[in-house]
Amino acid sequence: MIYIESKSNDPRYNTALELYAFNELAEKDDVFMLWINSPCIVVGKNQNTTEEVNQKFCDDKDIKIVRRKWWWCSLPRFKQLKLHNHFKW
């Protein structure tokens, strides 16, 4: 098992690290990743941030908005790696 503990609180960095771990490392072994983000909103690939996020509030409170550009990279690959057995659907 590959253990990753991110020392960064930057949600942009941690989201990118999560994507890298899933795309590159999960093919080699199971990955266990821990991180703590600073205040943020992580939105999905298809979410409409204009409708769902109060931009002024986020700006005033220094809350970062991060878009996750993938949802488990794609379900076929997710199932190919047999990770779907670890989640309740």
Residue-wise pLDDT tens digits, 37-83: 999 999 888 888 899 999 999 999 999 999 887 655 444 454 445 54
Would you tell me how many other CB atoms lie within 10 Å of the CB of residue 38? 12
Q: What is the pTM of this model?
A: 0.71
Residue-by-residue DSSP string for 48-87: -HHHH--HHHHHHTT-EEEE---SSS-HHHHHHTTGGGGS
